[in-house]
Amino acid sequence: MTAAIDARVRRERLAVAAEDRRRRTAGRRAARLLGYAVLIVAAAALLAPFFWMLMSSLKSSNEVFSVPIRWIPETFVWSNYVDIWTRSGMLTWLRNTMVLSVVVTFLQVLTGSFAAYGFARTRFPGRNVLFLLYVGTIAVPWQSYMIPQFILLSKLQVSNTLWSIILLQAFGAFGVFLMKQFYESVPEELSEAARIDGLSEYGIWRRIMLPLSIPALASLTLLTFVNTWNDYLGPLIYLRDPQLWTIQLGLKNFVSNLYDTNYALLFAGLTLSVIPIALIFVLGQRFFVEGLATSGLKG
């Protein structure tokens, strides 16, 4: 008697559970479909401007603003990519940008990882206060002290030279944070063992920490490079001489002086300025994401 009731109750419970599961999977499928719809729309919105830029760079100058809008060019005008080199200072701009990006990245990675080791692994009075000073600058926007900085660098006679941008970008607190974060995750026993074997602190940094921190160094390198490549305000304030312009400054001036309104040519220049960054990003995507997710800041 009781056994029969038990069995019935169990059967009913199973039925309810199955029904519940069915409802849940149906709901989940609907949610997934909705998720895909959101992603597709968002991806389209995120990528449309790039698509339009790329396609416009291959149009003739009249076709850029055709009504109704034409997304794909009627004839592909590849010559835009040849003309932009002769009709603008692209070559000079690219050279300056390249020099700046490489030098700044090198200095930032070197001094940043060196100082980070000091903060992470040496102990001396005042160290924490010093680090707090570094942390405090997160909340201080560069725009608020750009004027005194400009006066200082002008007094040092470096404004209107590439040195100004190098000094401006190379000693940021960002590299110190990122590397300190990483060094603190390296087990202390490793350095302790090396210390017992007679390695100096510099030796530990050079032979143990640097090789171990290659992923973090890659993040810092890529982020600094891209940041310097894209910087607009620094060059705008410091580099007055057109021979010193970076690609961003050059293209911005190219827009302002575009009397014949050949926007197709401009788009070709913009595409060329974005391509190196796109390549770097696609190849080193992992390092970008990890670098920004662990340190959570930029510039």
Partner 1 sequence: MEVALTTVTAAPPHSAKPPPRRQMRLPVRNALVGWSFILPNFLGFAALTLVPVLVLFYMSFTNWNIFGGSEWIGLDNFRRLLGDGSFRIAVVNTLYYSALHIPLTIACSLGLALVLNNKLRGAAFFRTAAFFPYITSIVAIAVVWNLMFSPDYGPINQVLHLVGVENPPGWLTSTTWSMPAVVIVSTWRDMGYYMILFLAGLQAVPRELHEAARVDGASTVQRFFNVTLPCLRPTTFFVTVIITISSFKIFDLILVMTDGGPGQSTLVLSQFIFRKGFEENQFGYASSAAVALFLMCIAVTAAQFLWNKKRSS
Q: In the window 140-159, what residues touch partner 1 (CB under 8 A)? A: 140-152
Q: Which run of H or of E encompasses 275?
A: helix 263-283
Applying CB under 8 A, among 216, 251, 265, 268 the residue interacting with partner 1 is: 251
Applying CB under 8 A, among 3, 4, 5, 67 the residue interacting with partner 1 is: 67
Contact 241, 160 (CB under 8 A): yes
Q: Provide, rounded to whole angstroms, the least separation between the CB of residue 214 and partner 1.
A: 19
> What is the 8-class DSSP label of residue 65?
T
259 binds partner 1 (CB under 8 A): no
Rounded Cα gap, residues 115 and 122, in angstroms:
10
**Count of helices and strands (H, E) across the chain:** 15, 0
Applying CB under 8 A, among 16, 17, 82, 255 the residue interacting with partner 1 is: 255
The two three-digit tokens of residue 262, written as one number? 């050949």
Q: Provide, rounded to whole angstroms, the least separation between the CB of residue 85 and partner 1.
A: 18
The two three-digit tokens of residue 64, written as one number? 């850029």
4 binds partner 1 (CB under 8 A): no
229 binds partner 1 (CB under 8 A): yes
139 binds partner 1 (CB under 8 A): yes
Q: Provide, rounded to whole angstroms, the least separation between the CB of residue 106 and partner 1.
A: 13
Q: Provide, rounded to whole angstroms, the least separation between the CB of residue 271 and partner 1.
A: 8
Query: How many CB atoms are closer than 10 A to CB 57?
Result: 25
Contact 262, 59 (CB under 8 A): no
Q: Provide, rounded to whole angstroms, the least separation between the CB of residue 53 and partner 1.
A: 5
Nearer to partner 1, 77 or 113 (CB): 113
Applying CB under 8 A, among 15, 138, 193, 214 the residue interacting with partner 1 is: 138
Rounded Cα gap, residues 69 and 49, in angstroms:
14
Rounded Cα gap, residues 207 and 200, in angstroms:
10
Query: How many Å is the Cα radius of gyration of the chain?
Result: 28
Segment 22-51, which members bind partner 1 (CB under 8 A)?
A: 31-32, 35-36, 38-39, 42-43, 45-50
198 binds partner 1 (CB under 8 A): no
207 binds partner 1 (CB under 8 A): no
SS3 296: coil
Q: Which of left, alpha, beta for 296 (phi over 0: left; psi -120 to 50: alpha)?
A: left
Q: Provide, rounded to whole angstroms, the least separation between the CB of residue 93 and partner 1.
A: 11
Q: Which run of H or of E encompasses 232?
A: none
Nearer to partner 1, 77 or 191 (CB): 191
Residue 91 makes CB contacts below 8 A (sequence gap 6+) with 85
Rounded Cα gap, residues 87 and 260, in angstroms:
12
Rounded Cα gap, residues 178 and 160, in angstroms:
31
Segment 260-299, which members bind partner 1 (CB under 8 A)?
A: 263, 266-267, 270, 273-274, 277-278, 281-282, 285, 288-289, 292-293, 296-298
233 binds partner 1 (CB under 8 A): yes
Segment 97-126, which members bind partner 1 (CB under 8 A)?
A: 110-112, 114-115, 117-119, 122-125
Q: Provide, rounded to whole angstroms, the least separation between the CB of residue 7 and partner 1.
A: 25
Applying CB under 8 A, among 81, 85, 106, 134 the residue interacting with partner 1 is: 134
